[in-house]
Amino acid sequence: MDPEESRSPQKQYLYQNERKYLLSEGTGSRSEGEIRKQIRSERLPRLTNRIQHLIDDVALLNNRDFLTSEIWEDGWDQLQDLEYRPELRDPPVWLPNTELSGFTRIGFVLGQFARTVSSDVGPDYDSAQLTWGFLLGAVGRPQGNYRREHREIEEILRTIEKQFSRRKETVEEQKVETESQRLEDDLSISTSVPTLFDGSAFREYQEKAAEERQRIKNSNEPTESEFFQLLNEVIEADSEKIISASNLSRRIRRSIHEIQETSRRKVPAQDPFQTLYDADGAMNSGKIAADCGTHKKIVSYLMDTLAGEKDAELWADYPLVVEDPQRRGRKWEMTTFGKLVGACLFEEEGMETVHQALAETLTNGTAEEEYIELIKEILEPDED
């Protein structure tokens, strides 16, 4: 490092209108083109300098013992105030039963920083090598102390294994809860279509379904076998149809919840989704962005998410939108499933209407023909 180096901090930091622009809060008196040009020509080239200056400053302060509790009296408290900005992470990290405090918080913030600054700008993101580098930087010793380094790394790996096991246990516990809810959903939807059954058979099924629902609520290890046996005893010919309908109903509800929880740079995914739903046919990202009052890249990111191209597993097999590869400018269309979800979200009494159509589909009814046809496309796809 060069102690004689001249620094110009005013050119390194993002200006207020640039921060507002990056948060999708408008451009103030300047045009979007001017702000983007300023960021690319002035801020980005200096970003690594800012990082290097911070690294150098920390090393220099440490060199003269300034980074001690005696001199930097409230330093630890200040480090605990570091923010990791979950609202700017798409999607945010899932943190069940995790308290972000102490060294865990510092490590998490630094890990998020390293991931954010390097994952898209360089070659394929290598999380293993990044983590190994962080580990060496955090506990590496001189050659003469390699035994101490080995012991410390082995202890760290044992601790990580324990914490990872607890994280996996949390996932398994949630799977049990989800399975319980799934089976209860199956029972609920099957009892909501009484016209599927004849008098005494339906009453018998209702009684058994009520008993099964209570058993599922009280069980820590729900299984499907009793439920399928129950269905087959009463409605053998139609049990598979009810299961398929229940799965579709559940996917619709989950999709609605996920749409309402998904955003990019404070732009809700529901906005471009509704714009496309209300449109008559395909729309490109630029037109959707203009109608929503946001930026094309934000819309493209959100539409990619709804198309199952990002981390949202829910839409990987059942996307809400699809990109038309034959059109230029990234044009999007609603999928059949997306149209059903959109109807539930945006039409008056849409949820009730779609679920009534679902029940009518099971009983070969004809009400709300438009929705019945959409449902049949999903439940009874044409075989090639």
How many whole angstroms separate alpha carbon 365 and alpha carbon 371?
A: 12
Angstrom CA distances, 179 to 166, 186, 244, stand at 20, 11, 15
Q: What local confidence, expressed as pLDDT, does residue 192 receive?
A: 45
What pLDDT score does 352 carry? 76
Residue of 324, 323, 306 lying closest to 315 (CA atoms): 306
Rounded to whole angstroms, the Cα distance separating 372 from 133 reads 56
* Of 182, 306, 303, residue with least CA distance to 256: 306
pLDDT at 86: 63
Rounded to an integer, what is the distance from CA 56 to the centroid of its chain?
36
Residue with tokens 């605990």: 80
Strands 263-264 vs 267-268: parallel, antiparallel or unpaired? antiparallel
3-state DSSP assignment of residue 336: helix
Distance CA 299, CA 315 (A): 17
Looking at residue 191, its pLDDT comes to: 46
Question: What's the CA gap between 102 and 145, in Å, rounded?
Answer: 27
For residue 322, give every residue at least 6 positions away whose Cβ sits within 8 Å of its Cβ, in sequence order, or none: 307, 332, 333, 335
Strand spans (E) along the chain = 263-264, 267-268, 283-284, 321-324, 331-334
- Predicted pLDDT at 261: 84
For residues 2 and 56, give the distance between their C-alpha atoms in angstroms, rounded to a whole number. 10
Which amino acid is residue 128, in one-letter code? A
> CB–CB of 360/342 below 8 Å?
no
Nearest residue to 354 via CA among 346, 344, 365: 344
The pLDDT value given to residue 374: 84
List pLDDT tens digits, range 186-236.
555 444 443 333 444 445 555 665 666 566 566 655 444 444 454 455 444
Where the chain has pLDDT below 70, the residues are 1-11, 24-27, 86-92, 94, 96-97, 171-243, 311-312, 326-329, 359-360, 362-369, 381-384
Contact indicator for 335, 321 with CB cutoff of 8 Å: yes
Q: Give the model's pLDDT for residue 346.
A: 92
Distance separating alpha carbons of residues 251 and 257, to the nearest angstrom: 10
Q: What are phi and psi of 221, to 5 degrees?
A: -135, 70
Give one DSSP letter per residue of 45-74, joined into a string. Answer: HHHHHHHHHHHHHHHHHHHTT-SSTTTSTT
Q: What is the pTM of this model?
A: 0.53
> What is the reported pLDDT for 1?
65
Produce one character per residue of 35-56: b if its CB has 16 or more CB atoms within 10 Å, e if not.
Answer: beebbeeebeebeeeeeebeee
Residue with token string 């996307």: 319
Longest dimension (CA), the chain: 92
